[in-house]
Amino acid sequence: MTADLDTLKAIKEKERESKERLARAAEESKRIVREALEKKKEILKEAEEAAMKEYETKIGAVRESASNEAKEIERKFEEEIGKLKRQVSKEVLDKMMDILME
């Protein structure tokens, strides 16, 4: 009977040890999951920052290109206006000369 009690005590002790190991493993699993979630947050934040930087770089390039294109259009417009002014001035002078020569 003592052997049965000793066996029962040993089984209970093993069961208790097993429950303790299981509890430690559960806590370790929770810790690993928390750390993984924190790492995920960090990675997502870094990815978002990198994406925003890339976006700003590309938008800056598009804005610069559009600005340069607008300046070129304005330059050509001013050039054409200058040509038209000279042409009108020449035509006016020609008409004045024609009138004076008559």
Q: Which two tokens stand for residue 29?
A: 């699993």
Residue-level length of the chain = 102
**pLDDT digits 0-9 by tens, 13-69:** 999 999 999 999 999 999 999 999 999 999 999 999 999 999 999 999 999 999 999
Q: Which two tokens stand for residue 18?
A: 């097993």
What pLDDT shows up at residue 97?
82
Residue for token digits 């928390």? 34
What pLDDT shows up at residue 1?
65
Q: pTM to 2 decimals?
A: 0.53
Give the DSSP letter of residue 1: -
